[in-house]
Amino acid sequence: MRLAEAWRVAVTALRANRLRSLLTMLGVIIGVASVVVLIAIGTGAQREVEAQVEGLGSNLVLVVPGQLELGSAPSRSPLDLDDAEDVGRAVGQPGRVAVTLAGGETVRFGARSSFATVNGTNAAVPDVFSRAVARGEYFRDSDVDTRRRVAVLGSSLVRDLFDGADPLGRQVTIGGVRFRVIGVFEEVGSAFGVDSDRDVHIPVTAAQRLFSDDRVDALAIKAPTADSTGRVSDEALAALADAYPDQEFSAVTQDQILGTLGRILGLLTSVLAAIAAISLVVGGVGVSNIMLVSVRERTREIGLRKAVGARQRDVLLQFLLEAVLLTSLGGVIGIALGVGGSLALTTVVDQVPAVITWWSPALAFGVSAAVGLFFGVVPARRAGRLDPVVALRQE
């Protein structure tokens, strides 16, 4: 009930100085809005990366030569197609081991040309990587065995080269060699400005001829279940250790990739939010400052209230509540601006994926109220301790 009275007094005081209240809140508004926006962007980026990694296909195990660590130089792959078969047998998933040998080449159709990522692969790819073909078909094992010059194109590449014409059955030139288009991939979409629909898949044997190489870059195995990815990793590495005793290989699962990327992006989000939070602290100092001014201005009111029976804690509560009200209101406005800004970012600038989570506005509100409490204590204590005799005498 005293709280209700203190609330009424606080609202009256803030309304009496509307412009001042607004300017005081500005620091908190900006701080909260930027925290909300940056967390939204960070979360959006995290989700996007997760979706990309999960989009690679489920239960995936990637096997690459060398150590998979940030900063380590890529090693020359000793792997070839026979190793892929051996590994497939070793892990009990024959025919579910995809190979890749990638390079960049210019793809031409008539007068049009476009630079694309050329992936030499085998027939296991659509299954292992969950890459669906929208029209036509993917190549088969027999195409790989006979080194047929057939190609499956990404949707963006098709748009660039064929301009609406039907690409199926047409001849394109890849690095000067003619290939027949037998399929077009379903659209995957782009993320962070990288278009995932600008690639060409050709049989790995044809790619080896094209790049004058007899190796493959990496293997990808589809484990039968999510739980078996660890076992598959171990068995694949064991099989390769037998074949290449002097070579090191690494196996990574999607979970490991997600975990690493998630940690990096999570850290990045926290750092950004922490920087934004600095302005919240600055805003809090501003609140403290204005509250001190307010206490000084209302010294006689405080004296009167104490004279008629207000205790120290009654006065303290009144001014503390005023500070908390000020920052909480700033927090609410900041959240509205932050959520609005995040939505604007996703709709206007679609390269920035911003996702509002339920907890970030809640956290921002809690923090802004806490800022009011923290920075309101000093002025409120000063008000509470005023001597009524001195306070009443003030003109």
Footprint of another protein on this chain (CB under 8 A)? 1-2, 4-5, 12, 16, 300-301, 304-314, 388-389, 392
Sequence-distant (6+) residues with CB within 8 A of 104 are 115, 116, 117, 118
Residue 352 or 392 having the CB closest to another protein: 392
State the Cα–Cα distance between residues 151 and 153, nearest whole angstrom: 6
Minimum CB distance to another protein smaller for 304 or for 336: 304
3-state secondary structure 298-342: CHHHHHHHHHCCCCHHHHHHHHHHHHHHHHHHHHHHHHHHHHHHH
3-state secondary structure of 208: helix
Cβ-based nearer residue to another protein, 8 or 76: 8
Torsion of CA 46, 129, 90, 102, to 10 degrees: -90
Closest alpha carbon to 27 in 273, 272, 280, 278: 280
Quick one: 5 or 214, whose CB is closer to another protein? 5
Task: Determine the Cα–Cα distance for residues 372 and 29; give it in Å rounded to an integer.
Answer: 13
Total residues found in the chain within this entry:
395
The burial of 358, by beta-carbon neighbours within 10 Å (0-12 exposed, 13-18 middle, 19 or more buried), is given as exposed
Rounded CA-CA distance 25/31 in Å is: 10
Closer by beta carbon to another protein, 72 or else 312:
312
Rounded least distance, CB 12 to another protein, Å: 6
Coil, helix or strand at residue 351: coil
**Nearer CB in complex with another protein: 2/76:** 2
In the complex with another protein, the residue whose CB is nearer, 7 or 211, is: 7
CB-side exposure of 279: number of CA atoms within 13 Å? Answer: 21
Q: Which is nearer to another protein, 2 or 178 (CB)?
A: 2
> Phi and psi of 217, rounded to 5°?
-75, -45
User: What H or E segment, with its residue span, contains residue 250?
Assistant: strand 249-253
Residue 193, classed as helix, strand or coil, is: coil
